């Protein structure tokens, strides 16, 4: 703890020197989340904050697609990521060329793309979504385009979960989150048997039978709000492991139990490499301006939708 306290103090000093903000995702470890994050939240919240912030430098305490999204929304700012290897299995599942093929196969249908994608995929997109607004975005796109089907890529499970909540037809892709696809309905059944009173919350990137067996499905921010609002005695968060640690800090008395999976990409970000990132101004994330311009339209449309 003394080492972490020193690092936290050093990072907070460096932030002021560099005119930097740290945008930290809910899956960051608690030392980052509670110690140095200026803004913490889900993918949607981080994107909105990137658009709003007037700092010169954004340090993305998250994964690469999040840093690209920040750069797309704030082209004049320097966007840094502490480790360039912080990727995402969903973002790696599809390329811009794939999207062009899908569009050729389904001409006239809008392309809705999860923010967990690279900038070249966003550049082929009509509007982005996150797990917090996917149903709203799909319904908006169907109405705007005057169609009854939309393309929703690349998360197969998110697409199925959205399809269960709307009459709009969904054309999906086969991408998966390597963290959430590993949860099973048997995990939920085991928790129900062991802790009959516990409330079970699952992320929409989980398989559909996991969500069907859970009490609530929502983005990481929606899970936080649910726990903060209802303060259940016992809660199971079917998602990345740091979520429970981070939320627990704000809701004393709630017991967090049950399985979780680590995201190896999120876990590449540490206090040490955040400190180094601010000292050496590394690693800068850039997006070619023509690509960024096309991607910006898709991200900004999402950001501009009413809450």
Known binding residue 115? Answer is: yes
Contacts of 101 (CB under 8 A, 6+ apart): none
From CA 59, how far away is CA 281, in angstroms rounded? 9
Q: Residue 74 or residue 219: which is nearer to ligand 13P going by CB?
A: 219
Q: Are 145 and 151 in contact (CB under 8 A)?
A: no
Closest distance of CB 89 from ligand 13P, Å: 10
**Cα 58–Cα 62–Cα 65 angle in degrees, nearest 5:** 85
Q: Which does 43 bind (CB under 5 to 8 A by kind): ligand 13P, ligand SF4, none?
A: ligand 13P
Known binding residue 204? Answer is: yes
Known binding residue 25? Answer is: yes
Q: How far is CA 86 from the centre of its chain?
A: 13
H or E stretch at 18? helix 2-18
From CA 277, how far away is CA 246, in angstroms rounded? 23
Q: Are 210 and 238 in contact (CB under 8 A)?
A: yes
Contacts of 87 (CB under 8 A, 6+ apart): 63, 64, 265
Tokens of 36: 């140095």
Considering only 31, 42, 124, 187, the residue that binds ligand 13P (CB under 6 A) is 42
Known binding residue 265? Answer is: no
Residue 70 in contact with ligand 13P, rule: CB under 6 A: no
From CA 241, how far away is CA 259, in angstroms rounded? 8
Closest distance of CB 179 from ligand SF4, Å: 4
Q: Which does 89 bind (CB under 5 to 8 A by kind): ligand SF4, ligand 13P, none?
A: ligand SF4
Considering only 60, 78, 116, 214, the residue that binds ligand SF4 (CB under 6 A) is 116
Q: Could you give the string, one character per residue 102-131, with x where binding to ligand 13P holds by CB under 6 A and - elsewhere?
A: --------------x-------------xx
From CA 296, how far away is CA 140, in angstroms rounded? 18
Q: Could you give the string, one character per residue 56-95, with x where binding to ligand SF4 holds by CB under 6 A and - elsewhere?
A: -------x------------------------xxx-----
Q: Residue 8 or residue 187: which is nearer to ligand SF4 going by CB?
A: 187
185-204: burial string, b at 16+ Cβ within 10 Å, e else: bebbeebeeebeebbbbbbb
Q: Are 198 and 258 in contact (CB under 8 A)?
A: yes
Q: Could you give the string, one character per residue 135-174, with x where binding to ligand SF4 holds by CB under 6 A and - elsewhere?
A: ----------------------------------------
C-alpha distances in angstroms, 250 versus 28, 223, 254?
15, 13, 9
Phi/psi at 258 (5° precision): 95, 180
Residues marked as binding for [4Fe-4S] cluster?
88, 177, 263
* Site residues (vs ligand 13P, CB under 6 A): 26, 42-44, 88, 116, 130-132, 177, 205, 219-220
* Site residues (vs ligand SF4, CB under 6 A): 63, 88-90, 116, 177-179, 205, 240, 263, 265-266
Residues marked as binding?
25, 43, 88, 114-116, 131, 177, 203-205, 220, 263
Residues marked as binding for iminosuccinate?
25, 43, 114-116, 131, 203-205, 220
């Amino acid at each position: 703890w003394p080492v972490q306290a020193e690092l936290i103090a050093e990072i907070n000093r460096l932030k002021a020197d560099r005119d930097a903000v740290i945008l930290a995702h809910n899956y960051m470890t608690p030392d980052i989340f509670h110690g140095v994050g200026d803004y913490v939240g889900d993918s949607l919240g981080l994107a909105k904050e990137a658009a709003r912030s007037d700092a010169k430098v954004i340090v993305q305490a998250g994964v690469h697609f999040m840093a690209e999204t920040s750069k797309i929304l704030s082209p004049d700012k320097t966007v840094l990521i502490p480790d360039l290897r912080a990727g995402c299995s969903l973002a790696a599942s599809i390329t811009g060329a794939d999207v062009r093929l899908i569009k050729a196969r389904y001409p006239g249908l809008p392309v809705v793309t999860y923010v967990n994608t690279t900038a070249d995929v966003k550049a082929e997109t009509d509007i982005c979504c996150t797990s917090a607004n996917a149903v709203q975005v799909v319904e908006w796109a169907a109405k705007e385009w005057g169609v009854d089907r939309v393309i929703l890529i690349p998360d197969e499970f998110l697409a199925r979960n959205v399809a269960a909540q709307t009459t709009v037809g969904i054309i999906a892709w086969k991408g998966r989150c390597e963290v959430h696809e590993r949860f099973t309905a048997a995990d939920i059944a085991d928790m129900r048997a062991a802790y009959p009173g516990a409330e079970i919350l699952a992320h929409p990137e989980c398989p559909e039978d996991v969500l069907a067996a859970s009490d609530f499905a929502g983005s990481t921010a929606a899970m936080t709000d649910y726990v903060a609002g209802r303060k259940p005695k016992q809660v199971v968060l079917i998602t990345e492991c740091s979520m429970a640690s981070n939320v627990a800090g704000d809701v004393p008395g709630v017991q967090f139990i049950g399985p979780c999976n680590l995201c190896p990409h999120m876990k590449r970000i540490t206090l040490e490499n955040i400190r180094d990132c601010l000292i050496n101004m590394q690693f800068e994330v850039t997006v070619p301006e023509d690509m960024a311009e096309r991607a910006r339209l898709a991200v900004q449309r999402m950001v501009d939708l009413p809450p």
